[in-house]
Amino acid sequence: MSDAEQNMVAIVDDDVAVRDSLRFLLEVVGCTVEAFASAAEFLQANVQDFACLILDHHMPNMTGLQLAERLRADGSDIPILLVTGSPSPAIVARAAELGIERILEKPPGEEDLIDFINANRS
């Protein structure tokens, strides 16, 4: 497996423009990216394939936090970056409980995104 493949980044966001633009940017930066339109879609993938996860919180059916909860319950310690339009104290607290590395407010800054990815490369 190449270095890029080993460091695959997963993106979960229900908005197609956010998803496509983030993948576009991260690929320009040199990452290998796979994007998912929902938490349910991501759960069908092999979580261990990914070095880290950039996760939108505000999604229908299953929120970002609910997905994180599920991943942790399933025994995954995949590094997670949560992106939310409104980081309430409740969200921040819950994210800390779930060992979510960082929360960024939408729109997330490029530097913060890249710092997170670099910190979680193998």
Contact residues: another protein, CB under 8 A:
15, 17-18, 20-22, 24-25, 28-29, 57-60, 62-63, 66, 85-86, 106-108, 110
Bridge-partner residues for 56, per DSSP? 83
Give the nearer residue to another protein in terms of CB position, either 41 or 48.
41
CB of 8 to another protein, least distance (A): 18
CB of 48 to another protein, least distance (A): 27
In angstroms, how far is CA 81 from the centroid of its own chain?
A: 5
CB of 46 to another protein, least distance (A): 25
Give the nearer residue to another protein in terms of CB position, either 20 or 97.
20
Rounded to an integer, what distance in angstroms lies between the CA atom of residue 93 and that of residue 80? 15
Give the nearer residue to another protein in terms of CB position, either 49 or 118.
118
Which residue in the block uniquely carries the two structure tokens 């290998």? 32
Bridge-partner residues for 82, per DSSP? 55, 103
**Category of 99 on φ-ψ map: left (φ > 0), alpha (ψ -120 to 50) or beta:** left
